[in-house]
């Protein structure tokens, strides 16, 4: 994820030609000659921008913050996925030719704006912690219905459920997207009224509004699985599963089920000789165990957490384990670091995540995370569908 937003830092990261193009589309004349503009003039650009009328500046600031939030590896990956759905075969080569995440994302915002909304929603879903997803993998393997009446039925059913049980959800909109072999349905039910203190011109006022809360359904036909993200609405998940099955899968007899109860097998990670099954073409240079949590077999609530610096010694955790020689134990959590092959002139990327017994994993289900999950499956760690 990109760091905290700052006007001046944002202006420094966007190429002058893109800034000129953006402000031209907004019909905003800042009195800046972007053909000769450079980083040393950022203070002048900042002064001109902050002198804009309040409403105009606020609208542009909101878009700049959206662009900044997308300016990361995950944002570019989400844009590529959305471009693939739209069969834009030239997109990958075009965005790869642009240096810097902010420049890549600004180019997509300006030139490929039809990809923007889907990509931003995908990035949000990718950044949701695995603990918030509730999964069932016993769904009927039938194609989902994308017709307008089915989408409306899903929205209306979500609205009716929350309105009846909680008195909110009077309105709801659902937006469907396809990504690889998964179908995403982003639902936006109306939440309770909320009063917020805002600056309106030179006055501080309290404004009432009805924000939307978000529910995400991710359906995979080939797996017969449905993941639901419904933060603070866990009790509603069983009913949301039935609503989805009825409206999108045309399946009226879905039985009460449970969340995914597959179990990660962490036992192999106790062996210092264990190796992850990494394919040469995966782009991954090395996978290292950086932490192990041992739960002792005898006694209750006794754990040992082993952590060591693996920068110069990938086996450091196992060397410490051998030195301590603990009594009989189970591996109940592991922290794993994946090191990707470095590209020319760039530092190697890394991905660090935890796997916790019985079935918690901090990886997502797309992009590099999906690639890592496949390696875990081949290595006997990831539970198979």
Give the tens place of pLDDT for each residue, 128-186.
877 788 888 888 889 999 999 999 999 999 999 999 999 999 999 999 999 988 999 99
Q: Kindly state whether residues 164 and 121 are assigned to the same domain.
A: no
**End of a domain among 215, 248, 281?**
248
- Residue-wise pLDDT for 96-126, tens only, equals 999 999 999 999 999 999 999 999 999 998 8
pLDDT, residue 385, reads 54
Indicate which CATH number applies to the domain containing 190.
3.30.310
3-state secondary structure 188-237: EEECCCEEEEEEECCEEEEEEECCECCEEEEEECCCCEEEEECCCCHHHH
Token digits for 340? 């990707």
Q: For residues 139 and 385, is the Cβ–Cβ distance under 8 A?
A: no
Domain that holds residue 323: 267-378
Mean of pLDDT values over 342-354 = 84
Instruction: Report which of residues 217 and 361 the model is more confident about.
Output: 217
Q: Kindly state whether residues 318 and 239 are assigned to the same domain.
A: no
Residue 291 lies in a domain: yes
Q: Kindly state whether residues 285 and 357 are assigned to the same domain.
A: yes
pLDDT, residue 384, reads 61
pLDDT, residue 259, reads 55
- Residue-wise pLDDT for 367-379, tens only, equals 788 889 889 999 9
Q: What's the whole-model pTM score? A: 0.72
């Amino acid at each position: 994820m990109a760091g905290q937003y700052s006007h001046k830092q944002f202006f420094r990261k966007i190429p002058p030609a893109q800034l000129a193009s953006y402000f031209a589309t907004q019909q905003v004349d800042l009195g800046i000659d972007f053909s000769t503009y450079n980083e040393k003039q950022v203070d002048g650009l900042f002064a001109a921008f902050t002198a804009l009328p309040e409403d105009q500046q606020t609208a542009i600031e909101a878009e700049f913050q959206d662009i900044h939030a997308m300016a990361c590896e995950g944002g570019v990956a989400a844009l590529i996925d959305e471009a693939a759905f739209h069969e834009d075969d030239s997109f990958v080569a075009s965005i790869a030719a642009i240096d810097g995440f902010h420049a890549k994302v600004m180019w997509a915002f300006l030139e490929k704006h039809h990809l923007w909304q889907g990509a931003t929603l995908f990035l949000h879903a990718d950044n949701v912690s695995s603990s918030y997803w509730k999964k069932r993998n016993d769904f009927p393997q039938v194609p989902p219905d994308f017709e307008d009446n089915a989408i409306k039925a899903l929205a209306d059913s979500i609205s009716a459920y929350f309105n009846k049980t909680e008195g909110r959800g009077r309105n709801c909109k659902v937006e469907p997207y396809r990504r690889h072999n998964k179908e995403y349905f982003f639902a936006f039910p109306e939440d309770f009224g909320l009063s917020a203190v805002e600056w309106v011109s030179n006055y501080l006022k309290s404004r009432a509004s009805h924000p939307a809360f978000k529910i995400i359904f991710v359906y995979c036909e080939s797996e017969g699985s449905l993941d639901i993200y419904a933060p603070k609405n866990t009790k509603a998940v069983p009913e949301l599963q039935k609503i989805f099955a009825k409206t999108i899968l045309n399946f009226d007899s879905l039985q009460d089920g449970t969340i995914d109860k597959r179990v990660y097998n962490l036992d192999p990670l106790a062996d210092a000789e264990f190796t992850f099954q990494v394919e040469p073409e995966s782009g991954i240079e090395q996978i290292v165990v950086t932490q192990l949590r041992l739960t002792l077999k005898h006694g209750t609530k006794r754990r040992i957490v082993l952590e060591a610096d693996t920068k110069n010694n990938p086996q450091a955790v196992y060397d410490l384990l051998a030195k301590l020689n603990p009594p009989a134990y189970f591996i109940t959590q592991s922290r794993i670091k994946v090191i990707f092959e470095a590209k020319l002139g760039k530092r190697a990327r890394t991905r660090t995540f935890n796997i916790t017994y019985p079935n918690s994993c901090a990886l997502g289900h797309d992009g590099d995370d999906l690639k890592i999950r496949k390696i875990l499956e081949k290595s006997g760690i990831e539970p198979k569908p």
